[in-house]
Amino acid sequence: MLQKFKKILKIIAIFLSVLLVALIITFYRFSIPKSDKKIINDFVESNSQVYISEHTFKEFKYRVIETQKEMDTLLPIIVFIHGSIGSALDFKKYLVDIELNKKANLISYDRIGYGTKQTGNVQESIAFETDLLEDLTKDLIKKNTILVGYSYGGPIALASKNEYKKIILLAPAVYSKVEPMPWALNFYKWTATRWLLPKVWKAASKEKLSHKKDLQNFDTTWNENPSKIISIHGNEDWIVPFENSLYLKEKFSSQQFDLVTLNHAGHGLVWSNFNEIKSVLLQQLN
pLDDT tens figures, 100-127: 999 999 999 999 988 776 666 778 799 9
On the 0-12 / 13-18 / 19+ scale of CB atoms within 10 A, 276 is: middle
190 shares its domain with 66 = yes
156 shares its domain with 93 = yes
119 shares its domain with 158 = yes
Distance, CA of 100 to chain centre: 19
- CA-wise closest residue to 51 among 109, 99, 11, 104: 109
Contacts of 5 (CB under 8 A, 6+ apart): none
Q: Is the model's pLDDT at 271 over the cut of 70?
A: yes
- For the domain that residue 62 is a member of, what is the CATH number? 3.40.50.1820
25 shares its domain with 44 = no
194 shares its domain with 227 = yes
Residue 96's SS3 state is coil
17 shares its domain with 108 = no
Least confidently predicted of 29-43, 49-63, 152-166, 239-253: 29-43
14 shares its domain with 128 = no
Q: Is the model's pLDDT at 29 over the cut of 60?
A: no
Domain of residue 12, residue span? 1-31
Strand partners, 65: 52, 108
Q: Give pLDDT, residue 10.
A: 60
Per the prediction, the chain carries an average pLDDT of 87
155 shares its domain with 235 = yes
5 shares its domain with 72 = no
Report CA-CA distances (Å) from 150 to 40, 139, 267: 23, 23, 10
54 shares its domain with 195 = yes
189 shares its domain with 165 = yes
Give the global pTM.
0.87
7 shares its domain with 138 = no
Q: Give pLDDT, residue 54.
A: 93
Local confidence band at 4 (pLDDT 50, 70, 90 cut-offs): low
Q: What is the DSSP letter of 109?
A: E
Distance, CA of 1 to chain centre: 51
Q: Give pLDDT, residue 23.
A: 46
Domain count, the chain: 2
Local confidence band at 22 (pLDDT 50, 70, 90 cut-offs): very low
